[in-house]
Structure 1
């Protein structure tokens, strides 16, 4: 027999019988003691619930202080009783729905339940609104690991707070209590079928907190048109602000909100997801969409490093982004972050291509005075060394962007071919940029009419390139072999400078300085040496070698070859001319003075345009060299 039918039988049997009716015990079965006990227990549950619910009913005239006090302030034992009575009331409602759906007790219980839910809704709002500071995302996120073990709204929460003692601050104590209260109310309302009411309140209040936090971080919704119209200085300031804001927003604001939302609505996965998504979606889309707007702006080399900063920030925060926004309904946010990465990567590749093109298109025809380091060399190498600071990011961006050549290129200009590590792509790319620069410098060396000066120019610029590589992260990308090969190239340029710049001086002396020659020949050699040496001196006092080590190596190399050769000739032929009239003008330089004159060279000061004659017997230079530390 259906249970409804059974209820009708039992209901009829419990009604009074006429006096002339047969004995109850002889005509119908006895009442079920279990049923009577259950029904009376449910009625008792309703009575207990009514006393507490009425007490805290703000619309009831019997309520003494429901509009003044909070159910969850002070002694929280009554709040526990209240929540327990609601659970018991729900049990009673389920019982009467199953056993007697037309019972007045069911109507009474339903009315009490509505009243209780209104009260809990008010309490939920009060706790959220009055604890904005203690429940701010920063406070919640800083305690993320302890919140997961936070007790439900039971007696042991108070035990936890007492046990914690002075180890937690008052703000933390208030926050833990508020979170437990919110979870308890949410659990109660959700299980009672009133989840929508508390969810609506939660979304409104918490979204305002998240939006306010993003506003204070300077996160502003901008259109592509607005970003494109910004001056670079203004946009760069916004990028700097975003780089700071995104770290705080992800690690604190969104993380703290996810923790709080998951804790309060632990009873329902669907509610957790919908709440968190609605609260954070708008702000997160604005935050993660900004880098894409920047990436779509006009590309220029000056924007490269800020673009890399944006890419690096997202890639570093991606594990947190993926974890915090793990819900299916957050897929659009994850997609937005990925889209920003893709667009930023595309922008970096475009700017690298443009940078390479700008090197190749450099058309300046002005030579650097003295063969010094060209401005293009300084600019390109400074740019490349900065790129080296982003090697990990660039390796990620360039992983699927191989460099292709139309014709074979010398291996000496590239890292070792056996290096197939994660940085191989960026290593080859940077080596290629250096090669493009060096090729351009070869063309600029042709602007010098003096071949020796053109070689000095190449030596200076390649030495600058090598120094920049050795003093930066580029060294680890290009490798020791690359450095060694280019240092050898510097030596080749230096040797060519020496050969072309001093060939006339060396050829002005006889191949065998000890060979017997006539006084007239001796005079001729001295005259030729004087003319050649003075010409070289005049030129090379205006030439420059900025690198001290290279400058000293060049002068020492010349001195080691020239001074001994000249000394031999000087000592063998000076005496024969000493008695002739005007020999002082022929023998102008003592061997020991040549080093002093050579020391003046390659500083680019141009002050040594002439040489004062000195006596052949003089053992000291005819001009002061104190400025060079001698």
Structure 2
């Protein structure tokens, strides 16, 4: 039973195996057939691949070019819109004027922005179109018309991109607009040139704002330098017009044409006024205006403009004239004028530092420094030499009228002027500067000044002693010393008197009275002896004969008349400069002479009653004698008109100055 079952299983397995082998055989046959088909397909694959490749490549290129075209469409459309805006703004700008400057500048700004955007859009589209052109040029199947259209569009875009640059060239719309702005800038300056005055607010605020707006716009367009040149040119016209009101002909005079300080003196004050007007008003005005106009550019344009304006205002010529003053021959008057020049420069020092600090003003800086150096050195040189120059005046002759020598009057007046409020502070400052340039030990400037004055006055005193000894008539020597001591005593209350002190002034007062007494005793005291002394006398005048008083009163009176007339004639040519002293001396003369003469004539009247011929010896009455004595010692200026007096004083000043000039030059 079991064997039968196993046999059946074996038969079933055999049958299954047989079926499997048949299936495997059929599968193997099918695989062989497929293999043959694959081999045949493999043989055809290269040719198929070669045929299909161009189609795939073109299809991929078309997909990529689609992106290029899509990227160019948006910017290209923007280019067209922006170009329309540009054309509209160009037309608007060409017809607008600068009368409404704000609107004009706004239109310009919009046009510049539109042109920049147009150029930017073109720059974005051009690369894409360039790629399309390259693609189409490489595609044999491409449409030629399409390629030509793309190339044309590319050329147009390149032209549009260049519109911004062309607009700024000659003939371009922006260039014309900027030219119109420059014209408006000049017009605003010209219109306000006539109304601009020296004031804290140079131009109306609206005008300044317009000028600033134009400058800012031109500066943004790289036209700032031209703007500065236009500004300087217009304002230079104003400078020339301002100079027309000033008489600057004296600047053309050469130093050799000035004989001395007197001939240039009249121009120095005028020079100081002109220099101050040019620097402190004209140039300061231009400085403020220039800073206001170019304020928003944060540039140093004002320095170049100021250099130009300084040239127009002839500042260099003015400084050269100041240097001409330093070349005039030395003398005390020159010292004062040099101090005047220094005072002018010192008054303008802050202005010079502010206005002329730039490189463009290098010539002005050098001229100013050189002028200050020459002024300080020249003034100090004259100041130090004054005592020695006074000493050198000793050999000059003394005044024939016994008056005050011109040197004495000149020096005292000179020092009073030098010590006044106008000159002393300047002199002290000049001495300080001069000492700061030296390397030796510095002394106090006030002590130096006092030392020089005391030394000068000492030399004057020595000269007076020398001159007093040159008079042959001792009476005239006494009168001379009385005059000069009186002159010194009257310096009380003056700057020089304060320096010399009360003891010095008091001593001269005493010497004045002392020499007055000596003069009266020596000259007129001897005359009275003729009327008072009894017995024989010898009259002190030529032509009188000896006689006996008791026997011949007529001869005594004749001798007196001759002596009096001789003295009166001589002393009438002498002067007493001070009015009070002259009146006092004349009064003393009247008091001394007239009573004695009156007493004598009363006694002589008895003789007249006895001898009528004695009347011819009576030459003077008491009243005429008093009148003659009271009219003595009158200065020469009382005999001339005021004009001649002024000329006389001027001549005296010239003589003294020339004497100083000669001695200073000799050294």
Match of 2:423 among 391, 395, 399: 391
1:354 Cα deviation from its structure 2 partner: 6.4
**1:341-363: CA deviation from partner (whole Å, max 9, x where unpaired):** 22123333344566655543336
Match of 1:262 among 254, 279, 291: 291
Match of 2:200 among 123, 126, 144: 144
Q: In the alignment, is residue 362 of structure 1 matched against residue 419 of structure 2?
A: no
Q: Mark the CA change 1:603 to 1:301 in structure 2 (over 3 Å): closer, same or farther.
A: closer
Q: 2:567 matched to which residue of 1? A: 539
Q: 2:356 matched to which residue of 1? A: 325
| CA distance in structure 2 between the partners assigned to 1:102 and 1:280 by the alignment | 54
1:552 Cα deviation from its structure 2 partner: 2.2
Aligned residues of 2:528 and 2:593 also touching (Cα < 8 A): yes
Aligned residues of 1:504 and 1:532 also touching (Cα < 8 A): no
Q: 1:72 matched to which residue of 2? A: 98
Aligned residues of 2:417 and 2:423 also touching (Cα < 8 A): no
Q: In the alignment, is residue 345 of structure 1 matched against residue 376 of structure 2?
A: yes
Q: 1:455 matched to which residue of 2? A: 478
| CA distance in structure 2 between the partners assigned to 1:351 and 1:101 by the alignment | 85
Is 319-328 or 424-433 further displaced after alignment?
A: 424-433
1:228 Cα deviation from its structure 2 partner: 3.2
1:186 Cα deviation from its structure 2 partner: 1.0
Q: In the alignment, is residue 284 of structure 1 matched against residue 315 of structure 2?
A: yes
Q: In the alignment, is residue 118 of structure 1 matched against residue 175 of structure 2?
A: yes
Q: Secondary structure at the match of 2:570?
A: coil
Match of 1:490 among 512, 524, 528: 512
Question: What are the residue-to-residue correspondences of 1:79-158 with 2, within 5 Å?
Answer: 79-82=104-107, 84-85=109-110, 88=113, 107-112=162-167, 115=172, 118-119=175-176, 121-127=178-184, 129-130=186-187, 134-136=191-193, 140=196, 142-145=198-201, 151=205, 157=206
1:597 Cα deviation from its structure 2 partner: 7.1
| CA distance in structure 2 between the partners assigned to 1:124 and 1:475 by the alignment | 70
Q: Mark the CA change 1:184 to 1:302 in structure 2 (over 3 Å): closer, same or farther.
A: same
Q: Secondary structure at the match of 2:299?
A: helix
Aligned residues of 2:116 and 2:164 also touching (Cα < 8 A): no
Match of 1:230 among 253, 257, 260: 257
Is 294-303 or 101-110 further displaced after alignment?
A: 101-110
| CA distance in structure 1 between the partners assigned to 2:212 and 2:466 by the alignment | 75
Aligned residues of 1:377 and 1:437 also touching (Cα < 8 A): yes
| CA distance in structure 1 between the partners assigned to 2:564 and 2:111 by the alignment | 105
Aligned residues of 1:139 and 1:256 also touching (Cα < 8 A): no
| CA distance in structure 1 between the partners assigned to 2:289 and 2:404 by the alignment | 60
Question: What are the residue-to-residue correspondences of 1:188-227 with 2, within 5 Å?
Answer: 188-207=217-236, 209-210=238-239, 213-214=242-243, 217=246, 227=254
Q: Mark the CA change 1:387 to 1:264 in structure 2 (over 3 Å): closer, same or farther.
A: same
Paired residues in the alignment total 507
| CA distance in structure 1 between the partners assigned to 2:85 and 2:506 by the alignment | 91
1:257 Cα deviation from its structure 2 partner: 1.8
1:455 Cα deviation from its structure 2 partner: 1.9
Match of 1:251 among 280, 286, 290: 280
1:454 Cα deviation from its structure 2 partner: 0.8
Q: 1:624 matched to which residue of 2? A: none
| CA distance in structure 1 between the partners assigned to 2:609 and 2:377 by the alignment | 82
Q: Cα RMSD between the aligned structures? A: 5.8
Is 533-542 or 448-457 further displaced after alignment?
A: 533-542
**1:323-353: CA deviation from partner (whole Å, max 9, x where unpaired):** 3335465465345324312212333334456
| CA distance in structure 1 between the partners assigned to 2:389 and 2:476 by the alignment | 26
Question: What are the residue-to-residue correspondences of 1:411-560 with 2, within 5 Å?
Answer: 426=449, 429-430=452-453, 432-464=455-487, 469=491, 483-501=505-523, 504=526, 538-539=566-567, 542-543=570-571, 544=574, 545-557=576-588
1:266 Cα deviation from its structure 2 partner: 1.0
1:261 Cα deviation from its structure 2 partner: 1.5
| CA distance in structure 2 between the partners assigned to 1:20 and 1:204 by the alignment | 66
**1:68-104: CA deviation from partner (whole Å, max 9, x where unpaired):** xxx323x344234235436756996999899999997
Aligned residues of 1:273 and 1:327 also touching (Cα < 8 A): no
Aligned residues of 1:377 and 1:465 also touching (Cα < 8 A): no
Aligned residues of 1:140 and 1:260 also touching (Cα < 8 A): no
TM-score (norm 2): 0.58
Aligned residues of 1:141 and 1:252 also touching (Cα < 8 A): no
| CA distance in structure 1 between the partners assigned to 2:243 and 2:199 by the alignment | 21
1:242 Cα deviation from its structure 2 partner: 3.2
Q: Mark the CA change 1:198 to 1:454 in structure 2 (over 3 Å): closer, same or farther.
A: same
Q: Mark the CA change 1:100 to 1:374 in structure 2 (over 3 Å): closer, same or farther.
A: farther
Q: Mark the CA change 1:259 to 1:423 in structure 2 (over 3 Å): closer, same or farther.
A: same
Q: Mark the CA change 1:336 to 1:600 in structure 2 (over 3 Å): closer, same or farther.
A: closer
Q: Mark the CA change 1:558 to 1:292 in structure 2 (over 3 Å): closer, same or farther.
A: same
Q: Mark the CA change 1:484 to 1:491 in structure 2 (over 3 Å): closer, same or farther.
A: same
Q: 1:12 matched to which residue of 2? A: none
Q: Mark the CA change 1:50 to 1:230 in structure 2 (over 3 Å): closer, same or farther.
A: farther
Q: Secondary structure at the match of 1:395?
A: helix
Q: Mark the CA change 1:370 to 1:201 in structure 2 (over 3 Å): closer, same or farther.
A: closer
Q: 1:514 matched to which residue of 2? A: none
Q: Mark the CA change 1:197 to 1:370 in structure 2 (over 3 Å): closer, same or farther.
A: closer
Larger Rg: 2
1:295 Cα deviation from its structure 2 partner: 1.5
| CA distance in structure 2 between the partners assigned to 1:470 and 1:117 by the alignment | 81
1:122 Cα deviation from its structure 2 partner: 2.3
Match of 2:213 among 168, 176, 184: 184
